[in-house]
Amino acid sequence: MSDVESNRNLAPGRDVAIPRPGRSRGAAYNRFLLLVAGLGGLLYGVDVGIIGGALPYLEATSGLNAGQLSIIVAAVLLGSVISTLFAGLLADWMGRKPLMVLSGFTFIVSIPMIALAHGYGPLFLGRLLQGISGGFIGVVVPLYLAECLSASSRGKGTGIFQWLLTLGIVAAALIGIYFSYRVADVMRVADAATVFAFKDQAWRRIFWVSLPPGILFAVGALLVGESPRWLFRRGKKDAAYSALLRSRSENQADLELKEMERVAAENAAAAATGHRVQDSLLRRKYVIPFVLACVILFCNTATGINSIIGYNTNILLQSGLSDVQSHWGYVLFTMINFLMTMGGVMLVDRSGRKFLLVLGTSGIILSLAAVGLIFRHTERLTVDARNAIQSYVSQNQTLTLHFDPAEAAKLLEPEGHAAQPINAARASLVVIYGYGDFTAATNVARSDDIAAPSVQITRQTCVPANRIEAFTKNPFADLKAAQTAPLRIEKALISPVPPARNGWLVALALYIFMAFYAIGPGVCVWLALSELMPTRIRSNGMSIALVINQVVSTTLAAIFLPIVSNYGYSTIFFLFAGFTVVYFITAAFFLPETKGKTLEEIEEHFEGRGEQRSAGSAPA
């Protein structure tokens, strides 16, 4: 009999004699687990945010066209979807710890591949590997924490993952700000060739800076132990008990091992009497938590969080802030995310998951509605100058337009809008155009931005370069016809640029949105995903739910600019608020409180006490 087995067979009451050093080691190991999980979150945040600072310099020096750049940006999302699909299967097959190690080393390999790349292929492959790493981390780290930490600290552990994820986004924003100032300094004193070379080095250095967290995470993952529940399911009870003792007192380890043994015995008994269908998801205790987790993951992204982060600077620009104010507004936005996530981490094991989700979604609904109303106040004055813009199209079916106050006044007058309350000196223009079956929209141009480049429309900015890109953009489009079709101006929307006060109101509402998101859904979504899923389907169920999350994120990213261009920011914010109402109803009326419960107790909740009582009272 092993030492572990003999320890487990000691007489009841031995917990009174537990030495303090054992408890200290358990506390130290828990802190180490939290550190490794935090590094995983930091890595995930860097994955999300690093391209934002690098993209302007990559665009200026890589020679890639708009379609290729879009794919480079989206490659992380593609890689994340691919790895999320298989993360659950891999976590069950190879174990939680090896998959964490693999995800760390995948990230490490991706960085030099990107930073040393010359050409589209290596860049795409490096970004794809970065996304694959992020997809693995998003599944396996919350899964590992849920199975390794005790019920009393599980919320804190998963919260720290989210907290340092937000720190990764903040770090990416600050890195981008730092290099933007460096580039601005070089542009003031150097010639064009020097500026080009510095920009080329800038985006490469931005990626190099993200390498150390990946190394630290990979090393940390090598040093942690395997999940006790994974070991138990593999029939390694002694190893599972040893793993429990690393993070718990002996008494706690005994209780959780007995819980696992009892659940396993009940499942075996049910299987022997024919009451359980192996590997089926149709049982109540599987279906209800699985559906709840999927709805929560769907609604979590449908709050618009990823779009609001990704387009934050554009939103603030259009709301009335200047370029510098908008960029610093975004940095403040990420800082609020980071600080409020810290508050969520402190509250999640005290106040509970359900309370924070209800509180968070309530604030999100109000703040999104406020942003929509503020934008609606100015967007109702928008006019369409498409006829005037169409007359500017050249014979080679391109268009170049410098949108300044004089041009704004000129565009407004022929359309009969000279008397409209739009100040030509503070107006914005966005053009929706198309070639054949493909459509696109320009970036927002402002007449008060004297340094803004001209609006340029060419076939390359709209029509994909090949059939693969064409299929992803519009699978039903005729690419060959679009390559010769004339330029068609669908809309040319001129709107008043609100005063800076309006912009700060929008910024304030977005800060409130971020605060409520961070303290509620931001912290609790990973917990909901890992805690709700029963042990038997946890890894695969998490993968499916996260794929749904990624599909929603991709869809919203695809429709964000078209909706904004055609219907305004107010419409998209009202749409996000509507999805969050569904989120609120789900959290308030259908989600059970899981605070302080073991994973086995949560699983029993969904089985239903009435069902258990009926089984217990059945005649022999």
The secondary structure of 191-250 as a DSSP string is -HHHHHHHHHHHHHHHHHHTHHHHHHHHHHHHHSPPPHHHHHHTT-HHHHHHHHHHHS-H
pLDDT digits (tens, 9 = 90+) for 223-253: 888 888 888 888 888 888 888 888 777 888 8
Q: What is the mean pLDDT of residues 405-432?
A: 76
* Cα–Cα distance for residue pair 32/436, rounded to 1 Å: 58
Among residues 338, 312, 360, 348, which one has the least CA distance to residue 531? 348
Q: What is the mean pLDDT of residues 473-495?
A: 86
Tokens for 581? 């109402």
Q: What is the mean pLDDT of residues 447-456?
A: 74
Amino acid at 586: T
Residue entry with tokens 């305004």: 568
The upper half-sphere exposure of residue 473, i.e. CA atoms within 13 Å in the direction of its Cβ, equals 25
The upper half-sphere exposure of residue 453, i.e. CA atoms within 13 Å in the direction of its Cβ, equals 6
Amino acid at 120: Y
Which residues does 469 contact at the CB level (< 8 Å), separation at least 6?
67, 71
> In the prediction, which pLDDT does 414 show?
63
- Contact present, 511 and 328 (Cβ < 8 Å): no
pLDDT at 15 over 70: no
> What is the band of 369 on the pLDDT scale with cuts at 50, 70, 90?
very high
Tokens for 181? 């100032």
Between residues 14 and 302, the one the model is more confident about: 302
Share of the chain above pLDDT 70, in %: 80
Cα angle value 493/498/503 (rounded, 5°):
120
> In the prediction, which pLDDT does 277 show?
45
Q: What is the DSSP letter of 444?
A: P
State which of 418-432, 438-452, 505-519, 595-609 shows the largest mean pLDDT. 505-519
pLDDT digits (tens, 9 = 90+) for 585-594: 988 888 877 7
- Contact present, 203 and 64 (Cβ < 8 Å): no
> In the prediction, which pLDDT does 618 show?
40
Q: What is the mean pLDDT of residues 309-318?
A: 77
pLDDT digits (tens, 9 = 90+) for 380-389: 888 888 888 9
The secondary structure of 489-546 as a DSSP string is EEEEEEEEPPPHHHHHHHHHHHHHHHHHHIIIIIHHHHHHHHHHS-GGGHHHHHHHHH
Among residues 434, 563, 420, 439, which one has the least CA distance to residue 494? 420
Residue entry with tokens 């309006």: 502
pLDDT at 274 over 60: no
> In the prediction, which pLDDT does 573 show?
94
- Contact present, 138 and 14 (Cβ < 8 Å): no
Residue ranges and CATH numbers for the domains of the chain are 22-225 (1.20.1250.20), 383-497 (no CATH)
- Using DSSP, how many helices (H) and how many strands (E) does the chain show? 26, 7
Between residues 81 and 513, the one the model is more confident about: 513
> In the prediction, which pLDDT does 415 show?
52
Q: What is the mean pLDDT of residues 598-608?
A: 67
Q: Which of 77-91, 371-385, 482-496, 567-581 has the lowest mean pLDDT?
A: 77-91
Share of the chain above pLDDT 90, in %: 14
Q: What is the mean pLDDT of residues 444-461?
A: 78
- Contact present, 134 and 44 (Cβ < 8 Å): yes
> In the prediction, which pLDDT does 514 show?
93
Query: In whole angstroms, how large is the CA radius of gyration of the chain?
Result: 27
Q: Which of 79-83, 115-119, 335-339 has the lowest mean pLDDT?
A: 79-83
- Contact present, 607 and 284 (Cβ < 8 Å): yes
* Cα–Cα distance for residue pair 280/286, rounded to 1 Å: 8
pLDDT at 598 over 70: no
Q: Which of 3-7, 147-151, 530-534 has the lowest mean pLDDT?
A: 3-7
pLDDT at 206 over 80: yes
Mean pLDDT of the chain: 78
Q: What is the mean pLDDT of residues 141-148?
A: 80
